[in-house]
A and B are shown apart, each in its own frame.
Chain A
Amino acid sequence: MTAPLLTIKNLTVTFPTPKGPVEVVRGISFSLGRERLGIVGESGSGKSMTGRSILKLIRPPGRVTADEMVFDGIDLMGLRERRMRELRGARISMVMQDPKFSLNPVMTVGEQIGEALQTHRPMPRRQLRARVLEMLEAVRINEPERVADLYPHEVSGGMGQRVMIAMMLIPEPDLLIADEPTSALDVSVQAQVLDIIDELVRRNGMGLILISHDLGLVARYCDRILVMNGGAIVEECAARDLDKARHPYTRGLLAAMPRMDEDREELPVLDRTAWAAT
């Protein structure tokens, strides 16, 4: 592998509480090439905070510290907010969980996608429109002309999420962070949306960080997996080796999932003391 796209060393995110500061991410390190990395964990594992701190989206009073956080040769830690804003969207994009809250309700879909590009790369209107339609097509929206003129409340959840993806990918970023991109969607739509992300990431040779609570989903769409628990990475493995995972937490998670051909009388429950000692 050549120089990695993103290197993170000893990333820590701290939030103050009345009872003293709490570390929600505890000194994690990883690097990412132009590959698909999955971060899995349950709520409170710090997986979303990790994603947000890469974009420096942690709001005060939260504090982010790291020995090193370098994106394509740029030191993110030392970067001013202004430069950071140029980077966000243009080179690193993020898709959030619920399109309903991420899309502006009073702008049409087309305008929003156009604006996402326009802010980073000004261009004439006609050309912009063409790019928007092209992008909508890329996320497999059948009638891009019509959909571009719809308002967010007029599109379904799955389509909204595809619009979000179009918006995030139109400036052709190098890294896409997808934070639970499909958990608000129906099962059959989930696969569609992830297939689209997958295809575009491969085609553009981007890096992808897929953050999810769903082990199976991450295993299907990623090359490498980080399992997080309590703010730390407990296991790192290739996606295809997930079923050989060693850490008791990962194994516990795998076992706790009901299967389609379930014949167990009782699901094994995570014994949270089992790995706390390790």
Chain B
Amino acid sequence: MNAIELARLDIAYGPARVVHDVSLTVAEGESFALVGESGSGKSTILKAITGLAPEWTGEISVLGNPRAHRPDRGFAKTCQMVFQDPYGSLHPRKTVDDCLAEPLAVHGVGGRDERVKAALAAVGLDRRFRFRYPHQLSGGQRQRVAIARALMLEPRILLLDEPTSALDVSVQAEILNLLKKLRRAEGLTYLLVTHNLPVVSFLCDRLAVMRHGRIVEVAHVEALKTGRLADPYSRELYAASGGTLQPA
């Protein structure tokens, strides 16, 4: 079974169409990257999958189940999302504990105390962070909390929207390592959105390059590592990111 299947997906934001005719499949256990510059529609695809961007046509199915046009309770347990901005994705007036316990409360899961402690340990946060407010945490610590929150309901798929682009290099390395470790430990499927090609090279198996709302190329990560991307735009992106091009 495929983790995520998109077929002939068109997404509109108000009057503007931002994604055109996108079809792709992400296998279970795979780590897949959507790469592109701002305005390429890559984040919008994540939003459509979660139901946060409801105006789409085509087909989206997650683990074989067709997706509704809005977020729903059942979906929350299979698929969660980590957002780009660690400063904006945590409620400013809630402690780390409130934030992590909330999904459990929504779904009536018991043993919250233990689970919150376990989740903190899993993302490498000391227990003393448990009752802090977001403004008492650094960017990297916040992102760890956001990842822990996404994992509270034990989903099988994580959607990652530029999870490290707001972080410092050294912190980015920590978060990338954490994501890699979690994926291995839990057998998670990742759909990563990023503009950073080296991150893709570190974390992903396959990638799709997007431009102006369309996929221009789907490639294996080996093609990226060796600089053998085929599409001219992908190659341009690759060169701008400091890579040395090889003949495709």
Contact = CB atoms under 8 A, between A and B. Distances in A.
Contacts of B238: 260
Nearest to B36: A186
B198 interface: yes
Interface residues of B, number: 31
A183 to B, nearest CB: 10
Q: Is the interface of A mostly helix, strand, loop or mixed?
A: loop
B240 interface: yes
B237 interface: yes
B197 A260 contact: yes
Interface in A4-25: none
B167 to A, nearest CB: 9
A270 B195 CA distance: 24
A262 B242 CA distance: 13
A191 B236 CA distance: 12
B172 to A, nearest CB: 7
B177 A253 contact: no
Given A186-B37, A187-B237, A188-B237, A42 B225 contact: no
Contacts of B202: 258, 262, 264, 267
Interface residues of A, number: 29
A229 to B, nearest CB: 10
Given A260-B224, A267-B176, A42 B170 contact: yes
A265 to B, nearest CB: 8
Given A42-B170, A263-B225, A258 B241 contact: no
Interface string B169-212: 11111101100100000000000000111110110000000000
Interface string B216-242: 000000001111000000001110111
A268 B201 CA distance: 16
A259 B243 CA distance: 9
Contacts of A186: 37-38, 195
Nearest to B40: A186
B168 interface: yes
A258 B201 contact: yes
Contact of A187 (B37, B180, B201, B224): B37
Name the residue among A43, A265, A267 with the largest chain B CB count within 10 angstroms.
Answer: A267
Contacts of B240: 187-188, 190-191
Contacts of B236: 188
B139 interface: yes
A143 interface: no
Interface string A32-46: 000000000011000
A108 B25 CA distance: 46
Interface in A243-271: 252-253, 256-270
Contact of A257 (B174, B198, B237): B198
Interface of B: 37-38, 139, 168-174, 176-177, 180, 195-199, 201-202, 224-227, 236-238, 240-243
